[in-house]
Structure 1
Amino acid sequence: MLKESLATWDTKSADDIRTIYAQYAETPTFEEDLMDALLDKELQCGSTWILKNHLGTKGNFSSLHSKSLLDHLELFDKWESQLHILQSFEHITITAAQKFSVENFIRLCLKSERKLIRAWGYHGFHFLSKQFPEYKMEAKTIMQRALLDEAASVKARIRNLLKQ
């Protein structure tokens, strides 16, 4: 079962997590099993990596499971899992009812001490503003302000977003 495989993963081996994904991705209950693992705080780093990888390769996650994921964003408090969730936002449809919880999650990430999380936080805000135009001006303002005082690595991600 997916949860048992994730529980034995050492949280470091990229080859092992890829193998776990390959082993379970085509099973009929993959999305249900993944959601179960995503909601287990002990498995969040591995399960969010699998989610990000799945969305990046397959490009979809059912609306039911997307809703459940977005309804539980507060569970993802480890930086690795926050990163994977932020990297997944462009593949997830956010409903109007969920936009505030997504916005709060992104704003929390924008305050992170980790540059990588902040960089992907801007990415998440950019994709939130694409789905909800009322955020467009604020997203642009926040990113332009960040170009003045963020780390070079964060600025590089922002410049790429602004070109889109």
Structure 2
Amino acid sequence: MKDLDAVLAAFDGKHTAPLETFAERQAPTAAVIRALTAAAGAPDQKHQSAATWLLKRYGEDGLAFTPRQTAALLALLPRVTHWEAKLHLLQIFPGLTVPEGEAPALFTLLTGPGYRGDANKLVRAWTYNALAELAAQHPARRAEVQALLARGAEDEAASVRARLRGIAKAHGWARRGV
């Protein structure tokens, strides 16, 4: 996709105007989502951030990701290295349906140092949100997630504690953990 390549190359890491323009002009076809997923998995961190930003935008605009697209997005979680790319994927998470077979590995990844233990407070905050969404879909994980939410309430970052309060409001079962 020549147009997408140009938009990704034009992204300066800060200003999203070229991304906004692309999202407004380009419908999120299966080919576009495949191209964005491929770009998000590339080593270039600016491309990771831009591609995941576009994927998040399409999700916010109402795109329901197919099971195949969901699998591709979940496969990006251990591969992306830029904190913004991680954040965008975590923010997409509420719109994804996680297959039962993928839940254990995803839980392990999210509770590890690259997500729940990440140095970036926003990544940590949204990791708790993703864990809560995972537990909402897979109730067998709720007790573990409640314990993690309780530990998260001790995080010094106000953004983490604010996200935990939002989780408690959204998920009645999570109130016991926060």
TM-score (norm 1): 0.90
In 2, Cα distance between the equivalents of 1:7 and 1:101? 33
Kindly indicate whether residue 20 of structure 2 is the aligned counterpart of residue 14 of structure 1.
Answer: no
Aligned length: 164
- Out of 113, 120, 124, which is 2:130 matched to? 124
Q: Is the 8 A contact 2:28 2:58 kept in 1?
A: no
Which ranges in structure 1 are unaligned for 5 or more consecutive residues?
none
User: Deviation of residue 95 (structure 1)?
Assistant: 1.0
Kindly indicate whether residue 73 of structure 2 is the aligned counterpart of residue 66 of structure 1.
Answer: no
Which ranges in structure 2 are unaligned for 5 or more consecutive residues?
171-178
Q: 1:148 to 1:61 in 2, by over 3 A?
A: same
In 2, Cα distance between the equivalents of 1:3 and 1:62? 24
Identity %: 29
Deviates more, 1:100-109 or 1:150-159: 100-109
Alignment match, 2:152: 146
Residues 128-157 of structure 1 show CA distances to partners (whole Å, capped at 9, x for unaligned) of: 101111111111121122223432221111
Alignment match, 1:113: 119
User: Deviation of residue 28 (structure 1)?
Assistant: 6.6
In 2, Cα distance between the equivalents of 1:19 and 1:101? 36
Alignment match, 1:158: 164
Alignment match, 2:34: 32
Compare the two structures and name the one with the higher helix fraction: 1
In the TM superposition, 1:36-51 aligns within 5 A as 36-42=38-44, 43-51=47-55
State the Cα RMSD in Å: 1.8
Q: Which has the higher contact order (CA 8 A, sep 6+)?
A: 1
Aligned-partner residue type, residue 18 of structure 1 = E
In 2, Cα distance between the equivalents of 1:131 and 1:28? 25
In 2, Cα distance between the equivalents of 1:31 and 1:140? 34
Alignment match, 1:75: 79
